[in-house]
Amino acid sequence: MTRPVSDHAEGRPEDWAAPGAALVRSAATDVVPPLADLGRVHIMGIAGSGMSALARILLERGVPVSGCEARDSITVSGLRAIGAQVHIGHATEHVDACDTFVYTTAINPKHEEFAYARSSGKPVLRRAAALACALEDKRTIAISGTHGKTSTTSLLTVAAQACGIDPSFAIGGNLYETGKNAHLGTGDLAIVEADESDGSFLLTRPVAAVITNVEADHLENHGDLEGIFRAFEQFVDRIDPSGFVLACADDAGARRIADYARGTGLRVITYGEDAGADVVVSGIEPSGSGVRFTVASAHGGREVSVGSLIGGHMALNATAALVMAGEFGLDLEVVLRTFAQFGGVHRRFESHGTGGGVRVFDDYAHHPTEVAAQLSAAKGLLNGQERLIGVFQPGTYSRTQTFAREFADAMAIADIAVVMDIFPAREEPIPGVTGASISDLIDLPAEQVIYEPSYDKVPERIAAVARPGDLVLTMGIGNVYLLCDEIRAACSGALPEPADS
């Protein structure tokens, strides 16, 4: 069934009039057309993690793909190398040359190219709808939750590959093992990161799903926490009746959705440190640059070691991947060896080297729970004399306004807290909401809190307080990671090096 051109997925143009307007309709109402009906696809913001993953799979399907980006980058070069036509800069002419336009809700609805696409009469699809097209003949495992999706999806993917299965996958970060964030596999299995932020996970029809946790986030789209729970319940309703849900017993939100799933007749498996879980995690401790722990179930216990991921939250993510691997019949001895050698994921506690004795890491953490978890895990790597310098770039005005106190409490875990100004993404400014909305609330001595609204001055501000042995951790959804090389160089006393885009 094809989409009627008078009823685009993103809603009527007037529904997008307000700055930062929320989605008007649930993604569950979106039509997913057959892959054969897409024609030439244009992807706005094609170098984004989710969009570049979609582009790779569509190209491997033989679909002509064009796209546009604000600047050149390694990702743009990689997409061009596999056949995508990528424009630098946005223009309405890009829409004229395509048959189907693909967007994410990270795009401001008032953007000229996006607005033109909505008025063109051509099909306008969310990224998730286009991905559902591309994977229309696959059995899908969907990894969902407010936090932990990328790491869990990545671990399950490399485990399946190591066991000789060639799954399709779509992940919100590049795997170090392959350098890819997506692939069209030869097997019938697809492992996908299912995004709840705009309800896009409601376009999947999985045979099995992970729910890592459910918390308040993306309230600009869901309204409130109850709206988020309703979306997760709709997600459960889309799981194959013969399938199952794997949910974290340690998280109240995930437990609530697990209870809902049981009520629908679905099989539910739980995991976590909670003694009542079906799979119990215990003995979590650092292991070099990774984490080590034990899992136990009715089928026995196993020692697990995971490389390149730190913290108790990562032990839970790895457990979810391990249990799912077992459910799909993967060789668990191979899976465990693969986990121990795991190389990591781009922007998940990613090392950017050392300068002047100062170690620099970066992470995608952008919710208070994630920021607190990453800072706590990083602090566990330090001895008594070493200090943790947390650098946070808030993402979106609405999230900053809603969670300012929670962000401040999380940043107080660091020994020195550096807060940048807000990366706006799709939003218009909210008067009075800045990075200082967070920094002013951090409960640390004044000399241990730095608010630096100038992006370019952040490296020198960090270098002025850092000393050998310190660990710097940058966090956020925006472009803070581009400063890592400059921070390292500033700490070493060298001239800033060009940031790799």
Which residues are catalytically annotated? 149-150, 193
Distance separating alpha carbons of residues 192 and 117, to the nearest angstrom:
27
- Is 415 within 8 Å of 467 (Cβ atoms)? no
Give the tokens for residue 348.
Answer: 């998940």
From 52, 56, 91, 89, select the one nearest 71 (Cα to Cα): 89
Cβ-based neighbour number of residue 58 at 10 Å: 26
Distance separating alpha carbons of residues 93 and 114, to the nearest angstrom:
11
- In the numeric block, the tokens 């570049």 are attached to 52
From 184, 183, 175, select the one nearest 155 (Cα to Cα): 175
Name residues whose C-beta falls within 8 Å of residue 456's C-beta, 6 or more positions apart in sequence: none
- Which residues make beta-bridge pairs with 192? 142, 170
**Counting Cβ atoms within 10 Å, is residue 32 exposed (0-12), middle (13-18) or buried (19+)?**
buried
- Which backbone phi and psi does 206 adopt, to 5 degrees? -75, 160
Distance separating alpha carbons of residues 470 and 459, to the nearest angstrom:
14
What are the Cα distances from residue 447, in Å, to 138, 417, 420, 465? Answer: 55, 10, 16, 10
Q: Is 435 left (phi over 0), alpha (psi -120 to 50) or beta?
A: alpha
- Which backbone phi and psi does 359 adopt, to 5 degrees? -85, 140
- Which backbone phi and psi does 141 adopt, to 5 degrees? -105, 120
Name residues whose C-beta falls within 8 Å of residue 178's C-beta, 6 or more positions apart in sequence: none
- Is 35 within 8 Å of 133 (Cβ atoms)? yes
